[in-house]
Amino acid sequence: MTWSVANLALFAQAAAKNAGGAGASPTGPTPGQWVMIVVGMIAALLFLVFLFVFFSFIRLWIQALLTRADISIFNLIGMKLRNVDYGMIVRQKIALVQAGVKVTTEDLESHFLARGNVPKTATAVIAAHKAGLDLPWRTAAAIDLAGRDVLEAVRTSVNPKVIDCPDPAKGKQFLDAVCKNGIQLLAKARVTVRTKLDRLVGGATEETIIARVGQGIVKAIGSAHDHKEVLANPGLISEEVLNSGLDAQTAFEIVSIDIANLEPGENIGAKLAGDQAASDLRVAQAEAEKRRAAAVAREQEMRALVEENRAKVVEAEAQVPQAISEAFRNGHMGVMDFYNMKNVMSDTTMRNNIATMTGGSDSGTNRN
């Protein structure tokens, strides 16, 4: 750029000298010459910019041209202006084209601008294409933008993954279930799954598979009449669980379910029966205590009633002298009647004393 400005200055001086020799004003360049100088500087600047852009994109453009990636120099300039990593886009487009995958440059740019992982998505699409799986670019981009690891999904689809049920990371080593005879069985399964790429967006994750398989194992063991049948043939559990369609609405396809460990546990039926018996005993004791308390309360009530009746008798006996006096005053009772009553009372007292001294048997004999 310095060389061009110097040349333009020399050109202007030469033009001024020529103009002076021709009789022009010796004071400086004419307006027309200034216009030519400005136009020349602008042209030189544009030429330098063109050279910079050309040498910046020429290598990538030549690579795209030789690999038939269909990326022009203007596409590279547009990506640069849109703040797109054009070098990465070119490399990934070349890799996709060489692998035989048809993807437009606009799709790669849009995925990059959407903050997607273009290299990982491109690698996943290439791997799926080589493995014969149907994974269009738009599906792979949607999986990546949904937060799923699309490359790991393709790998799992090609090479099935084994999941432990239950998950040891959750702190539980075995699934416990109880047969109909009350014997507890401890089971551990290994589930082989394959990723279903078409259900990866919106499909349930591994946790759902583990939960459903665990539920199926517990149901299969619980429906068995005897734990010996299950221990003799663990494949019954695998067949029943595998035929239950547990992978519906999930991102995986269950390939196989293998019972890795199966061992007997406690006798839950006997333990529950013992607990029930203890509970029944406590209920019976509570009922007996309730009846005892009711009897004690009834006894107290009867004692209170006896005391009440005694009080009534005492009250009635206290009214006897008053009645005798009233009979004397009214002429209903004479002196002889009074002494006869006294004799009867004395005779009664004597009989009671004799009965007390001789005992109940003698009194019973005398009564007879």
pLDDT digits (tens, 9 = 90+) for 260-285: 888 888 888 888 888 889 999 999 99
Compute the distance between CA of residue 249 and CA of residue 168 in angstroms, rounded to an integer.
25
Domain coordinates of the chain in residue numbers? Answer: 2-155, 160-322, 334-368
Q: Residue 244: helix, strand or coil by DSSP? A: coil
CATH class of the 160-322 domain in this structure: alpha beta
Percent of the chain whose predicted confidence (pLDDT) is above 70 = 87
Compute the distance between CA of residue 52 and CA of residue 76 in angstroms, rounded to an integer.
13
Q: For 93, how many CA atoms within 13 A lie in the half-sphere containing its CB?
A: 29
As a 3-state breakdown, the chain gives helix, strand, coil percent values, each rounded to 5, of 70, 10, 20
Mean pLDDT of the residues in the chain: 81
Query: Could you tell me the pTM of the whole model?
Result: 0.56
The CA–CA distances, whole Å, from 205 to 209, 214, 250, 302, 323 equal: 7, 15, 6, 75, 103
The CA–CA distances, whole Å, from 79 to 34, 76, 167 equal: 38, 5, 47
Compute the distance between CA of residue 354 and CA of residue 56 in angstroms, rounded to an integer.
144
31-40, 111-120, 244-253: segment of lowest average pLDDT = 31-40
- Strand segments, DSSP code E, in the chain are 161-165, 175-178, 183-195, 252-267
Q: What pLDDT score was predicted for residue 367?
A: 45
Q: Are 195 and 157 in contact (CB under 8 A)?
A: yes
Q: Are 160 and 194 in contact (CB under 8 A)?
A: yes
Strand partners, 175: 187
> Tens digits of per-residue pLDDT, 14-44?
545 554 444 444 455 677 777 787 777 888 7
Phi, psi torsion values for 359, nearest 5 degrees:
95, 170
* Nearest CA-CA partner of 208 in 239, 172, 153, 246: 246
